[in-house]
A and B are shown apart, each in its own frame.
Chain A
């Protein structure tokens, strides 16, 4: 048996309750439930979010120093896109820098973030997720000529950065796997030591044929159509995408001149073009 509870509240020690309460109300945007509503032997302020979650500020004589080894420790607020835009305006009006995101390179498309510290140095993210996180993103690279099919050994995975795809040659032929993660549009990486594609944004993993492994319920990596020209050049159309439920050998294009992707039974997807990663919403 385990506790099997749910998150209730985060207690934060502060050195000046008035100052911190004002920060969490006026800057972060929490609601005040009241003071000294909790059995603590120090002054407290209880704050509300829009769910059952609460934040309890406890005034202490001295807040312990931020652990040198815990530099990456933080907590994150989840906002709607509308709240995020208002928060950015509010922070800028109050003189905060809002364009600083120390981990922008780790953001998926459609994931927006601002970092902020409270008066005692606790680091917080202010996060929102936009619709771009689930759009189908074309790289704009058009049809990419990858090279002659004999240049790709069976079992090989070759990344084409500009076209945002991986060219896979498996036992059945060639697949072009879109590198955009089907979870929230992170860019996946092929980790050959683990034989999987890995998305560093939220941790999704896909097997060698791009089929999701895990419990986030993600679809397999999408396919870009492959064809092989009469001279043996492998061509990948980065402007078209097909969704699938799993892998079947019919998705692969045989390694011979004139072979082409057969889209029977697969679902073509409407495409957007890439947007700037990490750009704050307007």
Chain B
């Protein structure tokens, strides 16, 4: 047993919060949980700097950068640039996901088959509108019953 249950929450820096919300909700299927204004001035200006999203049992935040963030050339679809978030779907739905990415004109690289001795099946790689690297895959262990990720109802207190 590991000494860590799960990832409590995670953050992704973006250049345009509204664009990021639309991408993660419309393409990945996330839901807006809350928009956080850490400062009253932000609320007065109607400006949110941090949107907390949920996707199934996962809580993550898209956070507005204060200035322009260097990202690799847009032609590179597979990479990490420090980190990459990966999402799994059932193997049976994987072909539909590829069709969906094509339909919404999100360019992707793959599918790439993983070694059979590992838990991952096939992956495709793409990027969000800011240029953060993402991955969707099916997993060979999709029928294994793991411990449940505890819900936090976390809204981005950080």
Contact = CB atoms under 8 A, between A and B. Distances in A.
A5 B136 CA distance: 8
A217 B33 CA distance: 12
Given A39-B112, A67-B13, A46 B118 contact: yes
A50 interface: yes
Interface string A68-84: 11101111111110010
A148 interface: no
A135 interface: no
Contacts of A5: 28-29, 55-56, 87-89, 97, 136
Interface string B84-118: 11111100000011001001000000001111011
Contacts of B6: 49-51, 53, 77-78
Interface stretch (A24-32, A153-161, A224-232, A245-253): A24-32
B29 to A, nearest CB: 3
Contact of A11 (B1, B40, B135, B146): B135
B157 A52 contact: no
A122 B70 CA distance: 17
B7 A75 contact: yes
B56 A51 contact: no
B5 A80 contact: yes
Interface residues of A, number: 80
A39 B115 contact: yes
Nearest to A7: B58
Nearest to B39: A200
Contacts of B115: 36-39
A210 B112 CA distance: 52
Interface in A62-117: 63-64, 66-70, 72-80, 83, 86-87, 90, 103, 106-108, 111
A204 B66 CA distance: 25
A122 B158 contact: no
A51 B5 CA distance: 6
B157 to A, nearest CB: 4
Among A7, A74, A129, residue most surrounded by chain B Cβ atoms (within 10 Å): A7
B13 A216 contact: no
Nearest to B106: A3
Given A6-B55, A31-B1, A79-B4, A1 B96 contact: yes
A203 B87 contact: no
Contact of B5 (A67, A70, A78): A78
Interface in A174-204: 183-184, 186, 191, 193-194, 199-204
Given A51-B6, A73-B11, A216 B155 contact: yes
A54 interface: yes
Contacts of A8: 86-88, 120, 135, 137, 139
Nearest to A194: B43
Contact of A69 (B33, B65, B88): B65
A31 B63 contact: no
Nearest to A55: B7
Contacts of B70: 64, 67
Contacts of A111: 157
A131 interface: no
Q: Which 3 A-B pairs have the closest CB atoms?
A: A203-B155, A29-B3, A37-B118
Interface of A: 1-13, 28-31, 33-34, 36-39, 46, 48-54, 56, 58, 60, 63-64, 66-70, 72-80, 83, 86-87, 90, 103, 106-108, 111, 122, 125, 127, 129, 183-184, 186, 191, 193-194, 199-205, 214-217
12 contacts: A2-B28, A2-B29, A6-B89, A8-B86, A30-B3, A31-B1, A31-B2, A48-B2, A69-B69, A107-B157, A200-B38, A203-B33
Given A5-B136, A70-B69, 12 more contacts: A3-B89, A3-B100, A5-B56, A29-B3, A69-B13, A69-B67, A73-B13, A75-B9, A78-B4, A106-B158, A122-B83, A183-B153
